[in-house]
Amino acid sequence: MNIDSHSTKDIIKAELESTRATFHALLDSLSESDLRKKSCNAGWTNGEILAHMLFGFIILNALLPMARLWGWFPKWTSRPFAGLLNLFTVPFNWINALGARMQARVFTYHRIGNLFDRIYFSLIKQINSIKDEEWEHGMCYPTRWDANFNDFMTIEKLFHYPVIHFNFHIEQIAR
């Protein structure tokens, strides 16, 4: 393993650990009733926003195998798939919102911190499995689904996504 790969892995691990600490501090600062309060994002409760933030980490477990697979093919090969997904932006947004509402009911106050930890440790394990030559592999993404998606994202960029998504939503939690 080269120094750059160690550095990439260390940077991403530190970023994920910092976000994990922030998530737990945020959760610890809220009561169970705070989770049911309206957030600063119209139509969403604090609990729904937290569940949505967590989902940004969960989805990485689905996106990573696709990025690793498509990473072995020419970059353009995933563009039609991303284009197809962009066509389904409206249903995706509806399902995304419904999912957050349902997740907020399932990911209760006591479960959400434990689930975040399980996902975090899963991601650390996956980071350790990334080979040096894979960090620059990636695929095209549906940019209409999330402003934080780029047209083409490397595996390295993909690991930064849930942290960027988390930081985007953190100010929406009402105190």
The pLDDT value given to residue 4: 61
8 A C-beta contact, residue 112 and residue 50: yes
- pTM for this structure? 0.88
pLDDT in tens, the chain (175 residues): 444 657 999 999 999 999 999 999 999 999 999 999 999 998 899 999 999 999 999 999 889 999 999 999 999 999 999 999 999 999 988 888 888 888 888 888 889 999 999 999 999 999 999 998 999 999 999 999 988 889 999 999 999 999 999 999 999 999 8
Domains of the chain and CATH, by start: 3-170 (1.20.120.450)
* SS3 at position 117: helix
Instruction: Assess contact for 165 and 149: CB atoms under 8 A.
Output: no
What span, in angstroms and rounded, lies between the C-alpha atoms of 57 and 159?
9
The pair phi, psi for residue 60, each rounded to 5°, is -60, -30
pLDDT at position 5 is 59
Using the Cα atoms of residue 117, residue 119, residue 125 and residue 126 in order, give the sign of their dihedral: negative
Closest alpha carbon to 81 in 33, 140, 37, 22: 140
Nearest to 53 by CA among 92, 107, 8, 13: 107
Tokens standing for residue 30: 């809220």
In 10 A of CB 169, how many CB atoms?
Answer: 17
What is the Cα 112 distance to its own chain's centre? 15
Amino acid 41: pLDDT: 92
Identify residue 4 by its one-letter amino acid code: D
Give the burial string for 147-157 (b: 16+ CB within 10 Å, else e): ebbeebbbbbb
